Structure 1
Amino acid sequence: MPASVKTELVRAKTDKADARLIARYCQMHRPAPWVPPTDEIVTLQALVQRLDDLLGLHNMENNRLETAEAAAQPSIEAVLVTINQQIDTVRRQIQEHIDDHPDLKSQKKRLLSIPGIGDNTTATLLAFISPLERFHSAKQLVAYAGFNPRIRQSGQWAGKTLIAKTGNVLLRKALYMPALTAKRYNPVITVFCDRLIAPGKRPMQVIIAAMRKLLHIAYGVLKSGQPFDPEKALA
Structure 2
Amino acid sequence: MTDITIGADISKDHIDLHRLPDGQTLNVTNDRKGFAAILKWIGPKGAGRIVYEPTGPYHKAFERFMAMQGLQLCKVNPRVARRFAEATGRLAKTDRIDAALLARFGALLEPRILQANTQIHNDLKELHMARLALIKDRTAAKNRAKNLSNPLLKRHNTHRLRQIERQIKAVDEAIMALIAEDATLKARLEILISIPGVSRVTAFTLLIEMPELGELDEKAAAALSGLAPISRQSGRWTGRAFIAGGRAAIVRQALYMPALVACRFNPELSAKYDLLIKAGKPPKVAITAIMRKIILLANALLRKNQKWTPKAA
Scaled by the length of structure 2, the TM-score of the pair is 0.67
CA distance in 2, matches of 1:103, 1:6: 39
Which residue of 2 is the match for residue 106 of structure 1?
187
- Tell me whether 1:211 sits opposite 2:291 in the alignment: yes
RMSD of aligned Cα (Å): 2.4
CA distance in 2, matches of 1:99, 1:118: 16
Which residue of 2 is the match for residue 181 of structure 1?
261
Deviates more, 1:156-165 or 1:26-35: 26-35
CA distance in 2, matches of 1:76, 1:12: 49
- Tell me whether 1:93 sits opposite 2:174 in the alignment: yes
- Tell me whether 1:128 sits opposite 2:209 in the alignment: yes
Aligned match for 1:65, one of 145, 152, 157: 145
User: Which one scores higher on RCO, CA 8 angstroms, separation ≥ 6?
Assistant: 1
Report if aligned partners of 1:152, 1:160 keep a CA contact under 8 Å in 2: yes
Q: Determine helix, strand or coil for the equivalent of 2:189.
A: helix
- Tell me whether 1:115 sits opposite 2:201 in the alignment: no
Aligned CA distance change for structure 1 residues 131 and 75 (closer, same or farther; 3 Å): same
* Structure whose residues are more often strand by fraction: 2
Report if aligned partners of 1:145, 1:169 keep a CA contact under 8 Å in 2: no
Deviations 1:204-225, CA, capped at 9 Å, x for gaps: 1111111110011111221111
Aligned CA distance change for structure 1 residues 192 and 74 (closer, same or farther; 3 Å): same
Unaligned runs of at least 5 residues, structure 2: 1-78
- The residue type paired with residue 58 of structure 1 is R
Aligned CA distance change for structure 1 residues 70 and 127 (closer, same or farther; 3 Å): same
Cα offset, 1:38, TM superposition:
3.0
Report if aligned partners of 2:228, 2:243 keep a CA contact under 8 Å in 1: yes
- The residue type paired with residue 204 of structure 1 is K
Query: 4+ runs of 1 displaced by more than 6 Å?
Result: none
Cα offset, 1:26, TM superposition:
3.7
Report if aligned partners of 1:37, 1:131 keep a CA contact under 8 Å in 2: no
Aligned match for 2:240, one of 144, 155, 160: 160
Aligned match for 1:46, one of 111, 119, 126: 126
Deviations 1:165-184, CA, capped at 9 Å, x for gaps: 33353211111100000111
Aligned CA distance change for structure 1 residues 36 and 158 (closer, same or farther; 3 Å): farther
- Tell me whether 1:150 sits opposite 2:246 in the alignment: no
Deviations 1:44-90, CA, capped at 9 Å, x for gaps: 22222222211111001101111123242222112111111111211
CA distance in 2, matches of 1:179, 1:99: 26
Deviates more, 1:20-29 or 1:168-177: 20-29
- The residue type paired with residue 170 of structure 2 is T
Cα offset, 1:37, TM superposition:
4.5
Which residue of 2 is the match for residue 78 of structure 1?
159
Report if aligned partners of 2:226, 2:245 keep a CA contact under 8 Å in 1: yes
Aligned match for 2:281, one of 192, 201, 210: 201
Larger radius of gyration: 2
Q: Determine helix, strand or coil for the equivalent of 1:231.
A: coil
Q: Give % identity.
A: 32
Aligned CA distance change for structure 1 residues 180 and 24 (closer, same or farther; 3 Å): same
* Structure whose residues are more often helix by fraction: 1
